[in-house]
Amino acid sequence: MRKICATGLVVAGTIILTACGNRGALEPVEGSSLPPPVYGEATAPTGDELLIPSTQAQPERSDELLRRSEKRQDDKFDLPPPG
């Protein structure tokens, strides 16, 4: 039983070490290319630019606190369920 556990740990460690991967520049796989430039842009984005998340993917946090209670305005679309 101990041999099976030790073998499993060695295999798991090997997989983790191989996942450390390449630290060089990113390049597309052979036979494919990077996405075309966005409409209105002159150049296509590089691999490093594609790794930076947009503000939509990572929005900024809003920490605005309510300073005083305010009565909610009437919402004409907030209807009770039918029936």
What does the mean pLDDT of the chain come to? 77
Instruction: Inform me whether the pLDDT recorded for 62 exceeds 70.
Output: yes
Residue 40 Rama label (left phi>0; alpha psi -120 to 50; beta)? left
Q: What is the pLDDT of residue 36?
A: 84
Specify the pTM.
0.35
